[in-house]
Amino acid sequence: MVLFVLAVIWAVYLASWVRTRSEHRSVNSISSFNKHLSVLERTSPARQSPSVASRSSVAYPGYGPMVRRQAQMTKGEARRRRRDVLFALAGVALVTLMLAVLMGGAFVYLQLLADVALVGYLGLLAHTQRLAADRRNKVRYIAPVGSMHDIESPYLVPQSASANY
């Protein structure tokens, strides 16, 4: 008798669940997507100015504008992000070291994995800094146009028409 009551309760629950699922599916998927997208745009921490949003928006017929995000990061933001990742990896390595010493077992492997991630990230940082230094050293600046007057050459064009007479 108890099993029959449980079966009836489950049947009522499943019937109500199927009915609510079919009601939600009757909504147009495109309008639902646009609604969810507009909710996400409002909750975004970084907002664009109207001029940037109008330049970067693409209109699709019947679907409304969709805004493309500008994924550019300043040097300061990149430096801050690298520092934060480095501190997070160092913190994870330190915590897993403490857990490995206190508890042992699987925490030893977790600590080794954290160490490998930290050393790998440090290697990537060093490689990135070497590439940046190489780029800075290889850049050669062209002399300004005004400095060409100092050079005496027969191939230079005279500065005024009266210079030929």
- pLDDT per position as a tens digit, 112-158: 999 999 999 999 999 999 998 998 888 777 777 665 555 555 565 55
Residue 129 lies inside a defined structural domain of this protein: yes
Residue 114 lies inside a defined structural domain of this protein: yes
Residue 26 lies inside a defined structural domain of this protein: no
* Cβ partners under 8 Å of residue 159, min gap 6: 149
Residues 11 and 3: their CA atoms lie apart, in Å, by 12
More confident call, 15 vs 81: 81
Q: How many domains does the chain have?
A: 1
Query: What is the pLDDT averaged over residues 27-39?
Result: 76
Residue 102 lies inside a defined structural domain of this protein: yes
Residue 20 lies inside a defined structural domain of this protein: no
Residues 162 and 111: their CA atoms lie apart, in Å, by 82
Assigned token pair, 62:
């019947």
